[in-house]
Amino acid sequence: MTELFTDVLQIPTIFEGLFVSIHHIAFLLVLPVLAIAILHENIVQIEEKSNYPALFLRVLLILGLLIIYKQFFITVTHGTDLLSNTIMPVNEFENVIKSIFAEIKARKDMGVFNLFKGAMISGITYITYLMTYVTYTVLIWLRFMLLALLYVAGPILVVFGIYHKTAGTLSSWLRSLFQVAAWSVTLSLLVRIVSYMNLMAIYALPKTNAVSIITANVLFIILFVFTPMVTRSLLSEGSIGHVGSTMMGIATASTIALIRKVNLGKAAANLRNRGALEKKS
């Protein structure tokens, strides 16, 4: 995997030119947004609902955030990456991924599916390996792209936090930044749990039931796909139990769909042809 899509610390350097322009625009927007906020406070003062101290505090916090914006972004993203690396070191995580994408040994015991291993098992296994690789790659690239978007658009969204009617843009930006950055932490935790379960051992054993291999592949696909949702549930009021139920439903539906796509008649024909060849030999 190219470092460009995994090292989020490169984002400030890559988008330096664009960020500088937007950062300047954000500072220019401070006065207009502040003027609107003050006007609103003057209007609601008639009803004795004004809150100038809160406005003054928001202005100070937002100006401070704009000044340290770049360092704040680096601290959040680098901090989550360090935490994920502590949970699951990079070299160990790469070994897990390599194990997932390793070729299945030809002599693996296909268990109850032995009759169809030439057609069905090979097809399903190849599809699940391919889906696992694509899903993992999409997750890594998507995290990089979303963090880059949040970095570039952040200054504008931060400024609108001055006016309490649009302060939701600031809270939304902060929440999104922490959640997307924490994807790596959630993924490291999930893979660490899998390693404690010794699930990776099935890829190395010379005799492993194909059902176990396919189940492991599907599990990793589900883990990669649902990493953002799991992270959101852990960092908000969402229910992790609901995520688990959804994962089970999708895993079941995906497995059934894969099996239905397999041509069992072709598998039986391959078996008969193999039997005929063995008799001739």
What is the SS3 string spanning 2-15? CHHHCCHHHHHHHC
Instruction: Say if residue 241's pLDDT is above 60.
Output: no
Question: Phi/psi zone of residue 43: left (φ > 0), alpha (ψ -120 to 50 degrees), beta?
Answer: alpha
- Within a domain: residue 123? yes
pLDDT, one tens digit per residue, over 258-274 is 555 544 444 445 545 54
Burial 74-103 (b: 16+ CB within 10 A, else e): eebbeebbeebbebbeeeebeebeeebeee
Task: Say how many C-beta atoms besides its own lie within 10 A of residue 117's C-beta.
Answer: 20
- Within a domain: residue 64? yes
Instruction: Say if residue 114's pLDDT is above 80.
Output: no
Tokens 């090979």 — which residue? Answer: 122
- Within a domain: residue 14? yes
User: What was the pLDDT predicted at 107?
Assistant: 42
Q: Which domain holds residue 214?
A: 6-280
pLDDT, one tens digit per residue, over 126-162 is 676 777 778 888 888 889 999 999 999 999 999 998 8
Rounded distance, CA 107 to CA 130, Å? 21
Instruction: Say if residue 238's pLDDT is above 70.
Output: no
Rounded distance, CA 231 to CA 7, Å? 20
Query: Which contacts of 226-232 are long-range, i.e. CB under 8 A and separated by 24 or more positions?
Result: 227/139, 227/183, 227/186, 227/187, 227/190, 228/139, 228/179, 228/180, 228/183, 230/186, 230/190, 231/179, 231/182, 231/183, 231/185, 231/186, 232/179
User: What was the pLDDT predicted at 133?
Assistant: 77
Tokens 């899998």 — which residue? Answer: 194
Judged by average pLDDT, the poorest of 131-135, 214-218, 221-225 is: 214-218
Element (H or E) spanning 237, and its range?
A: none
Task: Say how many C-beta atoms besides its own lie within 10 A of residue 261's C-beta.
Answer: 11
- Within a domain: residue 1? no
Compute the C-alpha angle 184/185/189, nearest 5°.
115
Query: Which contacts of 105-108 are long-range, i.e. CB under 8 A and separated by 24 or more positions?
Result: 105/206, 107/206, 107/207, 108/205, 108/206, 108/207, 108/208, 108/210, 108/213
| Predicted TM-score (pTM) of this structure | 0.74
- Within a domain: residue 224? yes
- Within a domain: residue 187? yes
What is the count of structural domains for the chain?
Answer: 1
- Within a domain: residue 270? yes
Instruction: Say if residue 208's pLDDT is above 70.
Output: no
Question: Phi/psi zone of residue 176: left (φ > 0), alpha (ψ -120 to 50 degrees), beta?
Answer: alpha
